[in-house]
Structure 1
Amino acid sequence: MKQNKVSSFIILASFVVVLCCSWLLWFFLEKICDATNYENREPSVQPQLTVDNYDTFPKEYEQWFDDSMPFRNNLIKMNSLIDYIIFKKSSNDNVIIGSDNWLFYKSQSDGDPLSCYQGTNLLTTDELDEIAQNCIKQRDILTDMGKEFVILIAPNKERMYSEYMPDYYGDPSENYAAKQIADYLSETTDLRVIYLYDDLMYAKNSLNYNIFYKMDTHWNSIGAYVGASVLLKELGIIIPDIESNELTISVDSNYSGDLANMLDLNKELSFADHSYSISGYDMHEVQLIDNDFQSVISYSATGADPRKLYVLRDSFSSAMAPYIGSQFCSTYLRHRGSYTYSDFLEQDPDIVAYEVVERYIGELRSFSVMGE
């Protein structure tokens, strides 16, 4: 009994010493340690005990203590690294740990890519028709304004690299919402619709490079080039195929990305992948004018196609932007989250391309050129 008490005392004393020492060390090391707030919220403020908050004070204090704990980012990173390396477990519920250092996305509140993968979000005929009618309506509005309209659909990463998904998620469903919509629009309307799955899969199987990032939700520069070349071909512009001897694919720096960042392991996992650059196509002295990931990316080019291209986009167009921008005298890519009809009228393009990735495919049902 006495030995148990001594052991308990030692453990308690050790805990107190470690706790106190961590605050002491933090006093000296705070300026050289990473204390950046990476969370999408403001850190808690130290609460003051009052008559009004005596019942919630313990939880408020605990939250503040957690947010201001010495070496907090280091401890979070260490926990994530142990989970990833030793237990092959994700420290973030929205990240799937695949094989060979591949990470995948499964947020239910952000397009629900896992439902897309498993085909559990299939659409009824009425829903497909509703999407078709809205797309036709928007096309007709643009046609009346003298503008071309093209729809470009990019597949999710989970579908493109399903062989690295954990076995318990099964194989990707052969019938899924993006395929339903692409097939329905192609078969029942005269809309110009491009679904990039086959083109990207061909490139994936033909090249010795990945076309999506291992640790990011997006395609890399190679996949983006393929997507851009298919869109440009639909618009009457030919650039060399990704397999062409005219092109040079260069391996640039190590790269991780948004999924690794969600695990707090952006730097630690960058060894597993690379970014790439592509040269050998006519760049028409392209100049970057605006570069806002969440707003506008725009280019001007000399001696390129005289038409003005307007891309109503999500984040997948960002990597395509330099390739597309090099082929038109004026290219304007506006994120859908910041779109306004007045901005569209001011730009007055000749061509409108609506780019959407698979997990956001349902937005085709409600998007409006008029910004309604």
Structure 2
Amino acid sequence: MHTENHKNKASRIFDNLLIVTFVIGLFLPLVLTHNRKESATEKRKLAEFPQLKWEHQTMLKFPSQFESFFNDHFGLRDQLTQVYSLYSIILKNSSNPKVLIGLDDWLFYVNPSEGNSLEDYRRNDPFTPEELRSWKIGLEAKHKWLKQRGISYLFVVVPDKYSIYPEYMPEHIRQVGKQTRLDQLIEYMKDSEVTVLDLRPALLAAKQQGQLFYKTDTHWNDFGAAIAQHEIIRTIQKVYPNLIPNLSPINYSWQDFGLIEYKSGDIANMLNISYFLKEMVPELRKPLPRCDKQIVDKHPEDQMKATFFTDCRIDAPRALIFRDSFFIALQPYISQYFAKTVYVWEWPDIKLLEKYLQYNHPDIVIEARVERHLKFIK
């Protein structure tokens, strides 16, 4: 009898603990609801609390706006989404439609609205003949306009990660066509005066030395950028031999780099798992020459997109570079070859070229664009 009473008492205690736990789990997120403006894990702005106005349209929108606010701000959201994303990695099922989980925890950025890179990888979203003609007309117009002013022009295409590491793409992603958009553009421009530099051959040859791209980030790492800078300067000297006659492109090898821990990849942040996924990445052992840097135009939302120039050498040509995020790692390498380099985060047309010539009449204009952005013609 005593034993049975003891079991009943233990059962009641367990039931009460279960109820208390359920109640705490139900109300704790409400108690811990916050009003932060940004998510540290998701790297984005959170929905703001909707305005309260006695207006018909405002009242109609209030329920959905409040739901967005609550979904972004309820307590423990960051922790719960991290756990959910961790299970997504384990199950190889991405919790973010912009992210593809590949083999060996390689992550690929496949945002359809930013060039539809997944379908390009599959050779399933080619340029139309009209789009190819538009590309050629645009590139040749810039080349001709600059040439008339004694300025050289180089168009550089930075490959997406899947072009260098296709072996880590999921096995169920099949290639159904013959050419990517970059393949088409290179072939279409082969008889043009415009030099279109395809960095894929140089990077594919160098990947035997060591890793060139981050596993958890869409960008190349410092070693990948080092290989790219060598190919860019080598191409400039080949096409425009009088531009940088006295400087040999520095040929870095894997032995020039040491390994450090990296845990803030932009794709990992999209999945809220940068805390869990870490990798060892190359860092140049010997520091690059220091160049003076000055901001020309601040960007209202992102300081990384500010227009700036660097002063590095006296007896060297000047450059104007139109770039994207891949030039962040490339910039310290490239700047050392030029006296003054202006960096602009935009896609240029003739009007924009004319605007930026006022800052620094360059000897060469370099326009660099990541492969997936070839979809957008300008």
Bin the TM-score by the shorter chain: 0.7 to 0.9
The CA deviation string for residues 120-177 of structure 1, in whole angstroms up to 9 with x for no partner, is 2212334322211221111111011110111111111012111111011125854111
Amino acid at match of 2:324: D
Gaps of 5+ in 2: 1-15, 238-246
**% identical aligned pairs:** 25
Deviation at 1:60, TM superposition (A): 4.2
Distance in 1, Cα, partners of 2:149 & 2:24: 73
1:20 paired to 2:24: no
Q: 2:344 aligns with which of 331, 334, 350?
A: 334
The CA deviation string for residues 195-222 of structure 1, in whole angstroms up to 9 with x for no partner, is 11111100012x0x21011111111111
Q: How does 1:221-300 map to 2 (within 5 A)?
A: 221-236=222-237, 237-243=247-253, 248-269=256-277, 271-277=278-284, 279=286, 283=288, 285-290=290-295, 292-300=303-311
Q: Tell me if structure 1 keeps the 8 A contact 2:46–2:69.
A: no
Match of 1:109 in 2: 113
Aligned residues: 344
Distance in 1, Cα, partners of 2:39 & 2:319: 43
Match of 1:322 in 2: 332
Deviation at 1:345, TM superposition (A): 2.5
Deviation at 1:42, TM superposition (A): 4.2
Q: Tell me if structure 1 keeps the 8 A contact 2:39–2:46.
A: no
- Structure 2 residue matching 1:347: 3-state secondary structure: coil
The CA deviation string for residues 207-241 of structure 1, in whole angstroms up to 9 with x for no partner, is 0x210111111111111111111111122242232
Q: 2:80 aligns with which of 64, 71, 75?
A: 75
Q: 2:157 aligns with which of 150, 153, 157?
A: 153
Match of 2:134 in 1: 130
Alignment root-mean-square deviation, CA:
3.3
Deviation at 1:329, TM superposition (A): 1.4
Moved more, 343-352 or 213-222: 343-352
Gaps of 5+ in 1: 1-8, 367-372
Q: Tell me if structure 2 keeps the 8 A contact 1:178–1:358.
A: yes
Distance in 2, Cα, partners of 1:319 & 1:64: 36
Distance in 2, Cα, partners of 1:60 & 1:287: 47
Moved more, 209-218 or 250-259: 250-259
Match of 2:67 in 1: 62
Amino acid at match of 1:324: I
**Residues 66 and 127 (structure 1), Cα distance of their counterparts in 2 relative to 1, 3 Å cut:** closer
**Residues 70 and 184 (structure 1), Cα distance of their counterparts in 2 relative to 1, 3 Å cut:** same
1:310 paired to 2:320: yes
**Residues 133 and 160 (structure 1), Cα distance of their counterparts in 2 relative to 1, 3 Å cut:** same
**Residues 181 and 35 (structure 1), Cα distance of their counterparts in 2 relative to 1, 3 Å cut:** closer
Amino acid at match of 2:105: N
Match of 2:9 in 1: none
Q: TM-score, normalised by structure 1?
A: 0.81
Distance in 2, Cα, partners of 1:173 & 1:297: 41
Distance in 1, Cα, partners of 2:285 & 2:55: 65
The CA deviation string for residues 279-316 of structure 1, in whole angstroms up to 9 with x for no partner, is 38xx555344449421224322135x521011111111
Match of 1:5 in 2: none
- Structure 1 residue matching 2:316: 3-state secondary structure: strand
1:175 paired to 2:174: no
Deviation at 1:324, TM superposition (A): 0.4
Moved more, 345-354 or 35-44: 35-44
Q: Tell me if structure 2 keeps the 8 A contact 1:149–1:351.
A: yes
Q: How does 1:189-208 map to 2 (within 5 A)?
A: 189-205=192-208, 207=209
Amino acid at match of 1:192: T
**Residues 295 and 16 (structure 1), Cα distance of their counterparts in 2 relative to 1, 3 Å cut:** same
Distance in 1, Cα, partners of 2:258 & 2:293: 21
**Residues 121 and 160 (structure 1), Cα distance of their counterparts in 2 relative to 1, 3 Å cut:** same
**Residues 233 and 60 (structure 1), Cα distance of their counterparts in 2 relative to 1, 3 Å cut:** closer
- Structure 1 residue matching 2:186: 3-state secondary structure: helix
